[in-house]
Amino acid sequence: MRAKWLLLWLTAATLYAAPRDPFQPPSESRCEPPAALTGWRLQGMLGRAPRLRAWLTSPQGGVVKIAAADRLPLPGWRLSAMTPRSLTLTAGCGCAPQFVTLSLKGSAYVQDDTFTADESLAHARPGH
């Protein structure tokens, strides 16, 4: 009795399955790219080489702090390299691996201007 049902199921499955050319790529793409990283910025790095931490800002303005061993809140992406000035994210799922490097702007010793609360911008020196 089970053999009859199995045979009936296999026959129905083969009739339902459409034949396809094995030399052509499948019509449905299983290579979906991961979510884009547009709007994500590297805000800062802290620490030394084996124990670096990075601060990222999301497009919505949220702050994400990550270390080398942490999981990223970005689906499909993983942290592949971290240096004192940049980090590299890799998306391995998909047809072709993708790499994105986020870097800090400016040189290592650049500082922002500091103004006191009562100092007006008119008295500030241009270029400093």
* Domain assignment of residue 65, yes or no: yes
> Mind listing the pLDDT tens digit for each residue in 101-113?
889 887 766 665 5
Domain total in the chain: 1
Average pLDDT over residues 18-45: 73
CATH of the domain at 63: 2.30.30.830
* Domain assignment of residue 44, yes or no: yes
* Domain assignment of residue 46, yes or no: yes
* Residue (of 76, 99, 74) closest to 89 by Cα position: 99
> Mind listing the pLDDT tens digit for each residue in 32-88?
666 777 888 998 888 887 889 999 898 888 898 998 888 888 878 888 889 988 989
What was the pLDDT predicted at 72?
Answer: 82
* Domain assignment of residue 5, yes or no: no
Give the chain as a 3 state SS string: CHHHHHHHHHHHHHHHCCCCCCCCCCCCCCCCCCCCCCCCEEEEEECCHHHCEEEEECCCCCEEEEECCCCCCCCCCEEEEECCCEEEEEECCCCCCEEEEEECCCCCCCCCCCCCCCCCHHHCCCCC
* Domain assignment of residue 27, yes or no: no
What was the pLDDT predicted at 4?
Answer: 82
